[in-house]
Amino acid sequence: MAKNLTYKILESHLVEGRIAPGEEIGIKIDHVLVQDATGTMVMLEFEALGLRRIRAELGVQYVDHNILQSDFKNADDHRYLRTCSARYGLHFSPAGNGISHQVHMERFGIPGKTILGSDSHTPGAAGLSMLGIGAGGLDVAMALAGYPYYLPCPLVLGVRLTGRLPDWVSAKDVILEMLRRYGVKQCVGKVVEYYGPGVQSLSATDRETIGNMGTELGATSTLFPSDDNTRTYMEAQGRGSSWRELYPDEGAHYDEHAEIDLSRVEPLIACPSSPGNVVPVREVAGIPVHQVIVGSSVNSSFRDLMVVAKILEGKHCRPSVSFNVNPGSRQVLENVAEHGGLVSLLQAGARIHESGCLGCIGMGQAPGTGEVSLRTMPRNFPGRSGTKDDQVYLCSPETAAAAGLKGVITDPRDLAKEMPYPRIQDPRRYVIDEKSIVVPSEDLAQTEVVRGPNIKPLPSMDPLPENLELEVALKVGDNISTDTIMPAGSKVLPLRSNIGAISEFVFSQVDPDFAARCARKGAVLVVGGENYGQGSSREHAALAPRYLGVRAKIAKSFARIHKANLCNFGILPLTFHDPEDYEAFRQDSRVSFSNIRERVARGDREIPILVDGKTVLTLLDVSERQRKQILAGGALNLVKDGLPT
């Protein structure tokens, strides 16, 4: 059978299992990406394994999320990550050097490699035809230790691209079109693979944009071929020798099919408060805009910033609009400056920030009360910006620039009356800046790891008992994100290496009494609807609830990464056999799990439980490996004693 590119890469990295959709496979991980919001836990977990050096081909620690230093915590944690990287053999990219996905693409990405990241937007590596997958920190720590990464073998959705994008439409509109079609959960368990004649019209950074936000579809990953556009980008970065050609076989098999005629794509926008709430820009045109942000992990490349600079050139943004630019890397900003774009942005009234995630993760840039914020970022979950009841829209750089000029949401095609569309060509040779990256060496391996007072040891976790008697601490609805479970932002994220402290904020957005209630009740469970745990890969959304006594979660369905994280920390991820049984639960319901340890150990899929005296049937759809993790009380308990140093 002719093979798609996804299965070609999976087969070349297969360590355990077989390529059959739904079966668990283990794959070799070549590159490991770590960022600072999740990285302190990754390194604490890696240190708990007792190894002297990482065993992955390449590991890179990026500081790009928690770059505000309002007190000692972030600065101390960055020092911990820097010294850990030196001691254990990771490259280190410090605060201000750039966002992980952009910098990795510039300096490290290689077609055909696998990359596992403690950031859910790692599939942005599709820009260089890498199979990028986001995962929880413990899985990433294990990959650093040389262990395979385990996942259900995905289905492959083949999306055939034809045509070419018209003026005033860009790659962001392509992924918004996918979100308009599929929403935030219809691609769970799938890799989205783009192919066809339209691919050649998309640059490497266009593909990064589409791959990065493919995460919002619920997809495991996104993939593009490695072609002449890939080679052109890598040669411009001075890394042409690492390029290789990669294509699916002619007539390759795909489990599902879709087609997009790029010439028919129009400017689109995701309305509050979901990346899947997509409509044409023209349908919401005229809404007053108070804040615009271009950049962050997506749409922060040279092309994206330069198209904005050219649209704004010789003009000034409306006084009522705060226009912000977050470059993807220091190198991006240097190249924009080299080509005159920085002066245009400054003269247009733009606020130029350092390279980092910033407002995307609620680390500053919060909009005012009742204000509308247009962002080129990948997510707009409720409150993620840092402002309660926020009104965040997601759009292309072109739509963002048009709003800055007009003060209202504007279809960027309306600007054609005033100016020609600026089609941006990437430089034939980028100004290359890698001087800030600290490269591991034998000398640095002698570095002493420095731990600040905010870094606390990992909490111990007991094995699964024979029986469980739990109370429902909280019942929530559909599409609950990890931002809702474990908020980000400048107040909470600095506590990421202190589980006891950060656990006080679990579910604080929807129920400020949640942590206190867990303390009163002891062992508890949480009940949820469809797509529970969508969004970020942060394992704190599993680890902190476990610290509070959450031993089970029952939902209509789980997002992929969060379900894996629950197993990693010994929390039962159960689904309803009959979704109508969701109605049988209420907050404070008493739930009994009889002989639960025996049932998990012998491989039972059907798990009957008593809810306020009524029998409800739930399902435990996990692998044999994950059952062992649950029985042990967590994956770290299962493996740390058996590792050679």
Predicted confidence at residue 617, as pLDDT, reads 97
Q: Is the pLDDT of residue 234 over 80?
A: yes
Q: Are residues 217 and 320 in the same domain?
A: no
Q: Which two tokens stand for residue 115?
A: 């990359």
From 459, 551, 539, select the one nearest 501 (Cα to Cα). 459
CA–CA distance, 555 with 576 (Å, rounded to integer): 6
Asked whether the beta carbons of 366 and 360 are under 8 A apart, the reply is no
627 in a domain, yes or no? yes
Q: Collect all residues with Cβ–Cβ distance below 8 Å to 10 and sequence separation of at least 6.
A: 19, 25, 27, 131, 153
- 459 located within any domain: no
For residue 643, the model assigns a pLDDT of: 46
Residue 442 lies in a domain: no
628 part of a folded domain:
yes
Last residue of a domain, one of 212, 239, 264: 264
Per-residue pLDDT, 640:
63
Question: Three-state SS for 62?
Answer: strand
Measured distance CA(643)–CA(54) in Å, rounded: 13
> At which of 210, 241, 264 does a domain end?
264
What pLDDT score does 497 carry?
A: 86
Mark whether 346 and 481 lie in a shared domain. no
Q: Name residue, tokens 């094995």.
A: 463
Q: Is the pLDDT of residue 619 over 60?
A: yes
Q: Domain range spanning residue 328?
A: 268-417
**Domain co-membership, 411 together with 323:** yes
Q: Are residues 56 and 164 in the same domain?
A: yes
Please report the pLDDT score of residue 638 as a whole number. Answer: 83
- Domain assignment present for residue 462? The answer is no
Q: How would you classify residue 218: left for phi > 0, otherwise alpha for psi between -120 and 50, otherwise beta?
A: left
287/241 same-domain check: no
- Of all residues in the chain, the percent with pLDDT exceeding 70 is 99
SS3 track for 153-219: CCEEEEEEEECCCCCCCCHHHHHHHHHHHHCCCCCCCEEEEEECHHHHHCCHHHHHHHHHHHHHHCC
Q: Are 36 and 44 in contact (CB under 8 A)?
A: no
Model pLDDT for residues 336-371, shown as the tens digit of each residue: 999 999 999 999 999 999 999 887 888 888 999 999
* pLDDT exceeds 70 at position 644: no
pLDDT of residue 158: 98
- Share the mean pLDDT of the chain: 95
**Structure confidence at residue 75 (pLDDT):** 92
Alpha helices per DSSP H over 294-406:
302-312, 330-338, 341-347, 397-406
How many angstroms separate the CA atoms of 73 and 37, rounded?
12
Q: CA–CA distance from 93 to each of 70, 86, 326, 356, 434 (Å)?
A: 21, 11, 17, 12, 9
Q: Check whether residue 42 and residue 136 sit in a common domain.
A: yes
Helix or strand run (H / E) with residue 282: helix 281-284
Kindly state whether residue 461 falls inside one of the protein's structural domains.
Answer: no
Its pTM stands at 0.92
Q: What is the pLDDT of residue 361?
A: 83
CATH no. for residue 476? 3.20.19.10
- The per-residue pLDDT for 592 is 97
Number of domains in the chain: 3
Query: Are 278 and 252 part of one and the same domain?
Result: no
Q: Mark whether 222 and 295 lie in a shared domain.
A: no
Taking residues 7-29, what's their average pLDDT? 97
- Whether 527 has a pLDDT exceeding 50, the answer reads yes
Average pLDDT over residues 262-286: 97
CATH number of the domain bearing residue 30: 3.30.499.10
- CA atoms of 65 and 68, how far apart (whole Å): 8
Q: Walk across the sheet containing 155-162 and list its strands.
A: 221-223, 190-195, 155-162, 256-261
Looking at the domain assignment, is residue 534 inside a domain? Answer: yes
Query: Could you tell me the pLDDT band of residue 69, with boundaries at 50, 70 and 90?
Result: confident
Residue 413: per-residue pLDDT: 98
* Angle 516-551-534 from CA coordinates, rounded to 5°: 85
The pLDDT assigned to 603 comes to 96
Answer whether 488's CB lies under 8 Å from 536's CB: yes
* 196 in the same domain as 288: no
pLDDT tens sequence across 70-120: 888 899 999 999 999 999 999 999 999 999 999 999 999 999 999 999 999
- Measured CA to CA in angstroms, residue 639 lies from 211, 307, 387 at distances of 33, 50, 41
Q: How far apart are CA 452 and CA 79, in angstroms?
A: 8
Burial profile 323-347: b = 16 or more Cβ within 10 angstroms, e = fewer = bbbbbbbbbbbbbbeebebbebbee
Gap between the Cα atoms of 248 and 204, Å rounded: 18
Residues 207 and 335 in one domain: no
Q: Is the pLDDT of residue 594 over 60?
A: yes
**Confidence band of 563 (pLDDT split at 50, 70, 90):** very high
Beta bridge partners of 61: 34, 92
Question: Measuring CA to CA, which residue among 549, 612, 545 is closest to residue 585?
Answer: 612
Q: Which two tokens stand for residue 324?
A: 């912000």
User: Does some domain include residue 207?
Assistant: yes
Phi/psi class of residue 11: alpha, beta or left (left: φ > 0; alpha: ψ in -120 to 50)?
A: alpha
Buried b (16+ CB within 10 A) or exposed e, 237-265: bebeeebeebebeeebebeeeeebebeeb
pLDDT of residue 194: 98
Q: What is the mean pLDDT of residues 591-603?
A: 97
Output the six-digit token pair for 453: 């007072």
Which token pair is 58? 């390449």
Domain boundary among 212, 230, 264: 264
The pLDDT of residue 479 is above 80: yes
Residues 346 and 284 placed together within one structural domain of the fold:
yes
In this predicted model, what pLDDT tens digit does every residue of 183-229 receive, in sequence order? Answer: 999 999 999 999 999 999 999 999 999 999 999 999 999 999 999 99
524 pLDDT above the threshold of 60: yes
pLDDT digits (tens, 9 = 90+) for 411-463: 999 999 999 999 999 999 999 999 999 999 999 999 999 999 988 888 889 99
Q: How many CB atoms lie within 10 A of CB 535?
A: 28
Q: How far apart are CA 623 and CA 530, in angstroms?
A: 21
Contact of 209 with 203, CB cutoff 8 Å: no
Instruction: Give 142-180 pLDDT, tens digit per residue.
Output: 999 999 999 999 999 999 999 999 999 999 999 999 999
pLDDT of residue 642: 53
pLDDT at 523 over 70: yes
pLDDT score of 645? 38
Kindly state whether residues 230 and 87 are assigned to the same domain. Answer: yes
